[in-house]
Amino acid sequence: MAEYFQNLTGINPLTIDQVELVSNSLNEITFINSSLLKDIKKVTSNVDFFIVNNISPQLEKVYNKENLKQFNLKDIKLEKYKNQEILVSFYFKEEYLKYRSSSIPILYKILKFNNNKFQLPIGLYQLVITDNNNNLIISKQINIE
């Protein structure tokens, strides 16, 4: 969008990415100048700044209580990651099928696996779990009923 805007107007807009970086920092919001990350190959976004957003999701403020259901994260593949940090991401299934890695999760958390429970709205999701080196552990569709 910023590139289109710049081509259309000749104005170089300030750009901020709040999707590329994930952290388990104690800060709710961390603002990072992209020049500090220019030599890190895993960071692929071409923006001016990054925001790491660790504001606790509160889906109950968006969805009615009767539309939220509990999901218990259990999978045999996760047993070897017990008490290790993993990144758990829930994407709307249709968005994930269309945009894949460009999708924005409805919920994601860095946590130590120990049969965790999540509250999610009723619907179809793509569950993606990666280890702390961004290696894929699980990617599967789930139905919250």
Average of per-residue pLDDT across 117-136:
94
Distance CA 107, CA 123 (A): 13
pLDDT tier at 57, thresholds 50, 70, 90? low
Q: For residue 100, what are the contacts with CB-CB under 8 A and spacing of at least 6? A: none
Does the pTM of the predicted model rise above 0.75? no
pLDDT tens figures, 18-27: 888 888 788 9
Pairing relationship of beta strands 16-17 and 49-53 according to DSSP bridges: parallel
User: In the CATH hierarchy, which fold is given to the domain comprising 59-144?
Assistant: Immunoglobulin-like (2.60.40)
Domain ranges in the chain are 2-53, 59-144
Quick check: 7 pLDDT over 90?
A: yes
Q: Are 1 and 102 in contact (CB under 8 A)?
A: no
Average of per-residue pLDDT across 66-91:
91
